[in-house]
């Protein structure tokens, strides 16, 4: 099963993608996590990606597409995957589609997690991330067991640089301009599924499981 998660930054794509990955035993692939791991390790890719991420801009397609295609070619992706944060532009979606076409394959579901912009701004300010294992929490809605510490790996949680209020609005603008058109792209291919992302994360997940079966 090959799944694409759609939705604004902060809609809950990562939260749901991790739960999907656990239940269906497929890898969760987040281009944002891959970039953050590279930033943490100080790689050239990380340095280049950070210059865009900190401004709330998208990392250029050439760079992002290569990373994603390399990742989905790995052995653990044979039975499918859930993509979180990719594609984010029509050209990215077209490259993925072509690569899958060449394998007589396709995306089975594009799950759009719908959350209005006003809720997003509140959510991003409260998001805390573990840069070690990629887990995310929310200080009010989904708090860790111990404040500021990751439940899974016990490392310190941080407010992501790009979750600061001045960057969040820019990311939302970029989303509406460059990423939202993907809803229509996948709708035309008959694989779009919409879920209400404003309810409790368990309810969102139940709606997704209902769709995926």
For residue 171, indicate whether it is catalytic: yes
112 lines the binding site for ligand ADP (CB under 6 A): no
For residue 13, indicate whether it is catalytic: yes
Name the residue whose CB lies closest to ligand AMP. 32
Q: Which of 85, 86, 118, 93 is nearest to 9 (CA)?
A: 85
Question: Considering 18, 71, 127, 128, which one is annotated as catalytic?
Answer: 127
**Angle ∠(49,73,180) on CA atoms, nearest 5:** 50
28 lines the binding site for ligand ADP (CB under 6 A): no
Q: What is the DSSP letter of 158?
A: B
Residue 197 buriedness (CB in 10 A; 0-12 / 13-18 / 19+) = buried
- Helix, strand or coil, per DSSP, at residue 79: coil
For residue 88, indicate whether it is catalytic: yes
Paired sense of beta strands 136-138 and 127-129, if any: antiparallel
Q: Binding partner of residue 58 among ligand ADP, ligand AMP, none, CB under 5 to 8 Å per kind? A: ligand AMP
**Contact residue for ligand ADP among 2, 4, 15, 64 (CB under 6 A):** 15
Q: For residues 45, 171, 22 and 193, what is the CA-based torsion angle, rounded to 10 degrees?
A: -130
For residue 2, indicate whether it is catalytic: no
Task: CB nearer to ligand AMP: give 41 or 213.
Answer: 41
Q: Binding partner of residue 59 among ligand ADP, ligand AMP, none, CB under 5 to 8 Å per kind? A: ligand AMP
Task: CB nearer to ligand AMP: give 161 or 203.
Answer: 161
Question: Considering 2, 36, 71, 88, which one is annotated as catalytic?
Answer: 88
Question: Considering 13, 71, 123, 128, which one is annotated as catalytic?
Answer: 13
- Helix, strand or coil, per DSSP, at residue 110: strand
Task: Report, as residue numbers or ranges, the catalytic residues.
Answer: 13, 88, 127, 160, 171
């Amino acid at each position: 099963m090959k799944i694409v998660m759609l939705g604004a930054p902060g809609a809950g794509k990562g939260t749901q993608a991790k739960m999907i990955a656990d239940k269906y035993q497929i890898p969760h692939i987040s281009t944002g996590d891959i970039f953050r791991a590279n930033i943490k390790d100080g790689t050239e890719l990380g340095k280049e990606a950070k210059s865009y991420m900190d401004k709330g801009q998208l990392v250029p397609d050439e760079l992002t597409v290569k990373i994603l295609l390399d990742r989905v070619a790995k052995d653990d992706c044979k039975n499918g995957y859930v993509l979180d944060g990719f594609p984010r532009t029509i050209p990215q979606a077209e490259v993925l589609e072509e690569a899958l076409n060449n394998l007589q394959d396709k995306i089975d579901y594009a799950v759009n997690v719908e959350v209005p912009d006003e809720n997003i701004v509140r959510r991003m300010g409260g998001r805390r991330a573990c840069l070690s294992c990629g887990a995310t929490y929310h200080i009010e809605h989904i708090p860790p067991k111990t404040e500021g510490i990751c439940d899974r790996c016990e490392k310190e949680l941080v407010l992501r640089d790009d979750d600061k209020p001045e960057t969040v609005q820019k990311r939302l603008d970029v989303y509406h301009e460059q990423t939202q058109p993907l809803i229509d792209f996948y709708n035309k291919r008959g694989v779009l599924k919409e879920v209400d992302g404003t309810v409790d994360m368990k309810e969102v997940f139940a709606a997704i499981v209902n769709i995926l079966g």
